[in-house]
């Protein structure tokens, strides 16, 4: 894995957001977002990892930054599960690095847009075994949330903020809503918010994320 882009705060770091970009993007994609959020979160470090460049089947095998291969789009996403697991383990390593640097895991957040969000969901709920601050799931879905999986009490308490565009034709709102409903059915209390947008990020979203993070960090 390429070295992540790390945006250090102006104050001594007491919290961390690990933010995964989407398919075909790179670690600089959410740098302006991180810079904007640090205006209201001056003690929060942002870690922006880079997905490996590899072939993506649904894009004709063209190589691009991707957290995992997408083999088919319908009737449901068919993915390379091994590559997803590898990406999730990279996220776990970043959580451990933040923890080992002195940040309380309860103040470490995972955020992911689109394909990056799918990795974040898997890492947070299926692979990480300790506490976390919360999960930001942006315009994403959860390919590994299965019917036969239950969640322990610690996972049920994990704050989750789901944001999705009501006009998203890349990751349909119904896919994001399915993940949200799965979490609710397993004892979680996720927050759902829709925006009048496509597969993108709006300034109002960033303000809402800043407010949410401030609330979580003040608890």
Rounded CA-CA distance 95/99 in Å is 6
32 CB neighbour count, 10 Å cutoff: 11
What does residue 134 show for φ and ψ, rounded to 5 degrees?
A: 165, 180
Q: Is 199 a catalytic residue?
A: yes
Spot the catalytic one: 114, 122, 139, 164.
Answer: 114
The CA distance from 16 to 91, in Å, is 13
Q: Active-site residue among 15, 122, 139, 168?
A: 168
Write down how long the chain is: 219
Q: Which of 14, 26, 43, 199 is catalytic?
A: 199
DSSP letter for 24, please.
T
With left for phi above 0 and alpha for psi between -120 and 50, is residue 102 left, alpha or beta? left
CA triple 204-170-92, angle to 5 deg: 75
Helix (H, G, I), strand (E, B) or coil at 173: helix
**Catalytic: 21?**
no
Alpha-carbon distance of 70 to 64, in angstroms, equals 12
Answer yes or no: 114 catalytic.
yes
Q: What is the CA radius of gyration of the chain?
A: 16
Residues carrying an active site annotation: 114, 168, 199
């Amino acid at each position: 894995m390429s070295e992540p882009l790390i945006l250090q705060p102006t104050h001594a770091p007491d919290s961390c957001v690990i933010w995964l970009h989407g398919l075909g993007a790179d670690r600089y994609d959410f740098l302006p977002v991180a810079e904007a959020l640090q205006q209201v979160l001056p003690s929060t470090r942002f870690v922006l990892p880079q997905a490996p460049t590899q072939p993506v089947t649904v894009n004709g095998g063209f190589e691009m930054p991707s957290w995992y291969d997408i083999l088919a789009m319908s009737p449901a996403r068919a993915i390379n599960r091994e590559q997803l697991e590898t990406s999730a383990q990279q996220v776990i390593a970043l959580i451990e690095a933040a923890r080992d640097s002195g940040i309380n895991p309860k103040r470490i957040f995972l955020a992911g847009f689109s394909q990056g969000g799918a990795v974040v969901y898997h890492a947070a709920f299926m692979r990480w075994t300790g506490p976390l601050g919360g999960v930001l799931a942006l315009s994403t879905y959860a390919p590994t949330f299965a019917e036969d999986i239950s969640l322990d009490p610690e996972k049920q308490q994990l704050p989750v903020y789901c944001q999705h565009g009501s006009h998203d034709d890349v990751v349909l709102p119904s896919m994001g809503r399915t993940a949200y409903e799965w979490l609710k059915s397993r004892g979680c209390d996720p927050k759902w918010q829709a925006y009048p947008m496509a597969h993108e990020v709006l300034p109002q979203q960033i303000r809402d994320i800043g407010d949410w993070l401030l609330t979580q960090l003040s608890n």
